Amino acid sequence: MTRRTTTPTAGQAAQEAPAADGGDTPPALLRVTDLVQEFTVKGSRPFARARVSAVAGVSFSIARGETFALVGETGSGKTTIARALLASPPALSGSVTLNGRPLPVGKRAKPDAAQGGSGIQMVFQDPFGALDPRWTIAGSVAEPLITAGVTDPAERRRRIAEIMHLVGLDVSRFAQRLPRELSGGQAQRAAIARALVAEPDLLILDEPVTALDVSVQAQILALLFTLRQRLSLTSLLIAHDLAVVRALADRTAIMYLGRICETAPTAELFRSPAHPYTAALLSAIPPGLRGGVQRERVRITGRQPSPLNPPSGCRFRTRCPAAQDTCAEAVPELRELAPGHEVACHFPLLPLTTAP
């Protein structure tokens, strides 16, 4: 893993040489550097405007075939990042490259319709919201193919049948149904088929199983796992349920208030969290029932500060049990603890192996 920092110059460097990734690591399919997103909202007084800092300099990359998870609580900016990748709306600044091709960034950027979409597809939490209620399942699944320029109807039918079979929906039974005639699990399968039919480079899964019942959740997780292996999918998983992340993701980044606190291979992150916030998150989940781990509870108090007026320095310091004066003064940058394990904390819970 190469080391990334959130210094201002890193963004420009990556923009100039997107593929200049060192050595033996697999080439990154998606590279996000210094992504910043802000929104203007109504201020406290009439006509006043305030700026919400939703994402403040986030960098990460996803290798081909990898599942990368962004985890964080409500308001941490994970969905904002996903939307910025889809350019709806595009990020304020920073750079995003997919397959070495830059994606639109900046206020006046437009979604890249000319190239038949950006090569990114998304699966949402609520499948019924993602499927047009008046379209048949076959119609919904066909739409991305039409956008991608597959004009031959026979070819389209073949690909629809293929993908529906792959997600476990019988074409003869489901193709002509309407979304309301499907159960939640079946509708999510249809939404996954729609996302995958045009063979996107990157699949974004935004809370894909949160709205589903326990046993259906397990079915969809198993499906996503199989699809990942059969199609060697590259995906960005967005979730707040750490157990889901544990089941699907190769690498995980923990977000807090628009910044990444910690990134590590998933198993390592669960085994040895280095950021106090990660430790608090992990200790808040009830131990699993199949030989669980009883973690010592790291309690955090108070609530997430407003992104209208984020704390100086480390954004977690107002709730951190280990906060000191330095934390208010300097923004901690992501530093490498072990290969692939980076933490943005002045006083990490694990010793730094390399000099900072």
Residues found near other proteins in the complex (CB under 8 A): 73-74, 183, 213-219, 221-222, 225, 240-244, 246-247, 267, 270, 280-282, 284-297, 300, 302-304
Q: How far is the CB of 70 from other proteins (least distance, A)?
A: 14
Choice between 189 and 335, CB closer to other proteins:
189
Query: What would the two tokens of residue 167 be?
Result: 């997600």
Nearer residue to other proteins within complex by CB, 154 or 214: 214
Residue placing its CB nearer to other proteins in the complex, 162 or 213: 213
Longest dimension (CA), the chain: 67
DSSP letter at 309 equals S
Q: Which of these, 87, 66, 79, 11, lies nearest to 201 by C-alpha position?
A: 66
The tokens for 124 are 């949402």
Least separation in angstroms between CB 331 and other proteins: 23
Q: Which is nearer to other proteins, 10 or 269 (CB)?
A: 269
Cα–Cα distance for residue pair 154/348, rounded to 1 Å: 58
CB of 354 to other proteins, least distance (A): 25
Q: How far is the CB of 154 from other proteins (least distance, A)?
A: 35
User: Closer to other proteins at the Cβ: 117 or 305?
Assistant: 305
Give me 59's structure tokens: 């960098």
Q: Toward other proteins, which CB reaches closer, 153 or 302?
A: 302
CB of 237 to other proteins, least distance (A): 12
Q: Give min distance, CB of 246 to other proteins, in A.
A: 5
Is 318 within 8 Å of 311 (Cβ atoms)?
yes
Between CA 255 and CA 307 the distance in angstroms is: 13
Q: Of 214 and 355, which has the nearer Cβ to other proteins?
A: 214
Q: What are the C-alpha distances in Å from 243 to residues 192, 206, 259?
A: 21, 15, 22
How far the first Cα of the chain sits from its last, in Å, is 16
Instruction: Please report how close the Cβ of residue 5 comes to other proteins at its closest, in angstroms.
Output: 28
What is the dihedral sign for C-alpha 192, 194, 197, 198? Answer: negative
96 φψ region: left (φ > 0), alpha (ψ -120 to 50), beta (else) = beta
